[in-house]
Amino acid sequence: MKRLWAWGALTFGLLYFFLPLIGMTNFSLKMRRGAYSFDAYVKVLNDPRFQETFTYSVTMALVTILFGIFLIVPTAYWVRLKLPGLRPYIEFVTLLPLVIPAIVIVFGYIRLYNTSSWLPLTGSSLGTDVLLMFGYATLALPYMYRAVDTGLRTIDVGTLTEAAQSLGAGWFTIISRIILPNVLVAVLSGAFLTFAIVIGEFTMAALLNKPAFGPYMQLLGANRAYEPAALAVIAFGITWGCLGLIQLVSRFQKTAPRQA
């Protein structure tokens, strides 16, 4: 009886998730009257706005990932090595982006860094890009920090640090050549999650008036019929690709020999 309920729940879950996706994919292939075709996909992929916004979002995702690595890896390492008593408080701070809406964060940025403030970042395109990158890093903070912290938990940070210091290594060498390679798989997991978040984010990019992929999807959905469905399928493919890469690197982490 338990197995029957389990199969029933699994079937319901699969139908719940896959039926809308199948319907959307089927609709996106019906742009040509009376026949299935990839016309909607071709039209989207050849749209200069798609190429511009997708390139911009990918660039912002890569910059955000680099910033997140430089910020979180040394912080999580230092907290685990020197300040273990502060870990619950640090974890609480990293969870705040999950309960504070993105619209509140971006309005705070606009109010603090407008053209009449002491640091007028919203007065230039580069400044707005920097603000958007900070916003993306904030949204990805819970996932990136936990991925890195989980990676640090699998290695003996104290022993590795003492061994490196006994050989004359400085802090930069310890973090870049010893700690980072040992948690590289965890960092990659956080990087793929950050990439998926940045590609689909709408609120911050729209309010800062940047040509990102999320606002382009919303604009296309308001004016076209078949292209938004094709774009949604492409976005699902990108997200699932990132999740597949996370599963791949996680499997690699499980099969890799654990560090002493």
At residue 59, the pLDDT reads 92
Model pLDDT, residue 63: 94
Q: What percent of the chain has pLDDT over 70?
A: 95
* Inter-residue long-range contacts of 29-35, CB under 8 Å, 24+ positions, other chains counted: 30/226, 31/226
Instruction: Go through the chain and tell me how many residues it has.
Output: 260
Task: State how far the Cα of 257 lies from the Cα of 163, in Å rounded to an integer.
Answer: 19
In this prediction, residues 183-188 reach a mean pLDDT of 85
Q: Region 72-91: what's the mean pLDDT?
A: 89
What distance in Å separates the CA atoms of residue 242 and residue 200, rounded to the nearest whole number?
Answer: 12
- What is the rounded distance in angstroms from the CA atom of residue 24 to the CA atom of residue 10? 22
Model pLDDT, residue 254: 55
pLDDT confidence of 5, banded at 50, 70, 90?
confident
Mean pLDDT of the region 187-211? 87
**What is the DSSP code string of 74-116?**
HHHHHHHHH-GGGHHHHHHHHHHHHHS-HHHHHHHHHHHSSTT
Half-sphere exposure of 2 (CA within 13 A, CB side): 0
Instruction: State the pLDDT at residue 250.
Output: 66
**Mean predicted confidence (pLDDT) in 228-253:** 77
Reported as a single tens digit per residue, the pLDDT across 22-39 is 888 888 888 888 888 888
Residues of the chain above pLDDT 90, percent? 14
* One-character DSSP codes across 10-34: HHHHHHHHHHHHHHHHHHHT--STT
Confidence of residue 67 (pLDDT cuts 50, 70, 90): very high
258: phi > 0 → left, psi -120 to 50 → alpha, else beta; which?
Answer: beta
What token pair was written down for 142? 């819970």
Q: Which residue has the higher pLDDT, 92 or 117?
A: 92
Residues whose CB is less than 8 angstroms from the CB of residue 44 and which lie 6 or more positions away in sequence, other chains included = 50, 220, 227, 230, 231, 234
Looking at residue 132, its pLDDT comes to 92
Q: Give yes or no for residue 219 having a pLDDT over 70.
A: yes
Distance (Å, rounded) from C-alpha 54 to C-alpha 213?
5
Mean pLDDT, the chain, integer: 86
Tokens 């707005």, located at residue? 128
Query: For 133-141, what is the mean pLDDT?
Result: 92
Asked if residue 256 has pLDDT above 60, the reply is: no
Of the candidates 192, 161, 191, 163, the one whose C-alpha atom is nearest the C-alpha of residue 179 is 161
pLDDT for 259 equals: 47
Radius of gyration of the chain (CA): 22
